[in-house]
Chain A
Amino acid sequence: MRKMILTTTATIALGALSANAQEVRVYNWSDYIDEDLLDKFEEETGLDLVYDVFDSNEVLETKMLAGGSGYDVVVPSGTFLQRQISAGAFQKLDKSKLPNLDNMWDVVEQRTAQYDPDNAYSINYMWGTTGLGVNVGKVTELLGEDAPIDSWELVFDPENMEKLGDCGVHFLDAPAEMIPAALKYIGEDPDSHDPEVIAKAEEIYAPIRPHIQKFHSSEYINALANGDICVAVGWSGDILQARDRADEADNGVEIAYNAPKEGAQMWFDQMAIPVDAPNPDGAHTFLNFIMDAQNMAAASNYVYYANGNKASQDYLIDDVIGDPAIYPSQEAMDNLFTTTPYPIKVQRVVTRLWTKIKSGT
């Protein structure tokens, strides 16, 4: 009997160590895929799919840098991807296993090459902007019909925030996006790595801080949709999802998304394969599946984010391809900015500043 227990335990332990070869483990952002696609993948390939989610780049990055995450496909954003590539966290893609690469959109590939030269380690999954989600009814009630809902003034001008505060304003808990936004508002280079320039963001946040209810990177979807808050500084597709949830609930809440006219940050979420992925073959199969034009279109149609897949555009619904909040016009695209990763010393300055802004200490 005792021997049996021992062997059983040993088998379980071994099983946990060497993940099943027929299994693909994907770690993606929360609320970021049409879940029917997951079933479709299993049916088409016969592989088992384990799909986990996260809501911050920092959590993903810590898993990557600790090593042995056990995931086969992960989805960091541009600057985080770039840093993790230099840390040696990813393996180069075997492009011979990815015939659907032909579907990708050169316009996006050029931009992502800034983070991942030649796109050697990653493919674009989705991209979007960081901007303003507004409860139109409540905001116009408080600020009048000409409320600046398409300008950073809405949240960075203390006068507006005083009126909006009680109604609820959420900011992303993502310093790498919220500090560039504040710098853009005062006309500084949003991608500045100069601690003195970065410090100017504090002066912007200090007067509006008392009127910010929460810094959080996923709660605002529900809070906006339920009408709990008036304004959220958040990611384009998340706010559009909030808009749709409010429409479905038919609760009288009308949500609008705008990339501020002063300039908004453009970001790219990239799928990559960890260097120690247990099943790299399965990971390539998954990437190729995602790059299929119809599959990618299904994902975008579901989450309301633009993707880097040219061929998928034929299958996108009008609500997505025709919405300038998702696929901006060329002119609007020129107004978007991107950022590069902070060096470690500057990163510490940024995090410290962010803590100071949030907690007042």
Chain B
Amino acid sequence: MRRLILIFVPYLWLLALFLVPFLIVLKISLSDTALAIPPYTPTLDLGAGWQGVKDFLSQLDLENFQFLTTDDLYWKAYLSSLQIAVIATLLTLLVGYPIAYGMANAPDHWRPTLMLLVILPFWTSFLIRVYSWMGILSGEGYLNQFLMWTGLISEPLTILNTPVAVYIGIVYTYLPFMILPIYAALERMDASLLEAAEDLGCSRLQAFWLITIPLSKNGIIAGCFLVFIPTIGEFVIPSLLGGSQTLMIGKVLWEEFFNNRDWPVASAVAVILLLILIIPIILFQRNEQKQREAEG
């Protein structure tokens, strides 16, 4: 009985917070726009009983998904979001791994402090932190002032409103999500393995490559997922730091929803986005499971 409850709770969570909202979005994606509250039709009229449900179902169709194929804007935006998310994830990994490595190798009594420093930015609103980047990166901003003061540049650099600013914003925002899982993996690692490797003739770099990296693989994968998934649908960072040439699916979704008032097409865009994210994750997990079975 107790076990049943234990299993039931996470499923209930998935059902209430993932499946139900998804079904609502899916349902809207199959309906048509209307000038009404809410701005789509049909809406489910439970008062009409079973006949109402049947009428409702018969009016749903795939028109909005077909529409997405008629305009190259959508797949370009999906591709461009994928590209930005992949590059940003790799950059975050490049920055995050050394930090996690340093933390895992720091003296024991430093670690809680270092951990606190990584988490500390979350205590301030995300929006305010992104806004402060606008102050740092703008033409008259702190970064340019500093670089001009040092004499490295004579004209201010244009960083704000470019893709560079978007990458800076994403790497900064999602860095803790990369550091924490990698740190968790590295911290658990048995240091005597490295000693053994060096005893057997590995250079330190080789030992790092052959032992540390493979042992932290799960942390790297978890970190990459935690950065990649939210980045692909990111809206706030590109709209505040990016210029209008930064095409991302989150922005397209916003425009469908707010400018066109077309909730059904916006929902169709969201459904496809979800599929783009979920299918590779399922395939990946299946592959992992197969590997584990083959090994074990």
For A65, list chain B residues within 8 Å (CB): 36-39, 261
Whether A344 contacts B261 by the Cβ 8 Å rule is: yes
Cα(A85)–Cα(B38), bound, Å: 13
Whether A62 contacts B260 by the Cβ 8 Å rule is: no
For B209, list chain A residues within 8 Å (CB): none
Cα(A94)–Cα(B39), bound, Å: 27
Cα(A67)–Cα(B71), bound, Å: 31
| Known A-B contacts A56-B258, A228-B140, A348-B260; A361 and B37 likewise in contact (beta carbons under 8 Å) | no
Task: Determine how close the nearest CB of chain A comes to the CB of B133; give it in whole angstroms.
Answer: 14
Is residue B35 within 8 Å, beta carbon to beta carbon, of the partner chain? yes
Those of B241-284 within 8 Å (CB) of chain A: 243-247, 252, 255, 257-262
Q: Interface residue count for A (Cβ, 8 Å)?
A: 35
Cα(A245)–Cα(B257), bound, Å: 35
Is residue B161 within 8 Å, beta carbon to beta carbon, of the partner chain? yes
Task: Determine how close the nearest CB of chain B comes to the CB of A350; give it in whole angstroms.
Answer: 8
**Stretch from A130-138, A324-332, A351-359 that touches the partner:** A351-359
Among B37, B77, B245, B260, contact of A360 (Cβ-Cβ < 8 Å):
B245
Q: Interface residue count for B (Cβ, 8 Å)?
A: 28
Task: Determine how close the nearest CB of chain B comes to the CB of A267; give it in whole angstroms.
Answer: 17
Cα(A56)–Cα(B239), bound, Å: 14
Whether A214 contacts B244 by the Cβ 8 Å rule is: yes
Cα(A354)–Cα(B244), bound, Å: 11
Is residue A111 within 8 Å, beta carbon to beta carbon, of the partner chain? no
For B36, list chain A residues within 8 Å (CB): 65, 87-88
Whether A344 contacts B76 by the Cβ 8 Å rule is: no
Cα(A213)–Cα(B139), bound, Å: 12
For B255, list chain A residues within 8 Å (CB): 351, 355
Is residue A347 within 8 Å, beta carbon to beta carbon, of the partner chain? yes
Residue in B closest to A219 when the chains form the complex, CB atoms: B134
Whether B35 contacts A87 by the Cβ 8 Å rule is: yes
Cα(A359)–Cα(B74), bound, Å: 13
Residue in A closest to B256 when the chains form the complex, CB atoms: A351
Whether A355 contacts B252 by the Cβ 8 Å rule is: yes
| Known A-B contacts A214-B244, A352-B73; A58 and B258 likewise in contact (beta carbons under 8 Å) | yes
Residue in B closest to A212 when the chains form the complex, CB atoms: B244
Is residue A294 within 8 Å, beta carbon to beta carbon, of the partner chain? no
Is residue B173 within 8 Å, beta carbon to beta carbon, of the partner chain? no
Q: Which residues of chain B have a CB within 8 Å of any CB of chain A? A: 33, 35-39, 71-73, 76-77, 138-140, 161, 243-247, 252, 255, 257-262
A and B contact pairs by CB, cutoff 8 A, 24 listed: A58-B259, A58-B261, A61-B258, A62-B258, A65-B261, A66-B37, A67-B38, A87-B35, A88-B36, A88-B37, A215-B244, A228-B139, A228-B140, A275-B37, A344-B260, A347-B259, A347-B261, A348-B262, A351-B260, A352-B73, A358-B244, A358-B245, A360-B245, A361-B247
Q: Which residues of chain A have a CB within 8 Å of any CB of chain B? A: 56, 58-59, 61-62, 64-67, 83, 86-89, 168, 173, 175, 213-215, 226, 228, 275, 344, 347-348, 351-352, 354-356, 358-361
Closest 3 A/B residue pairs (Cβ): A58-B258, A358-B244, A65-B39
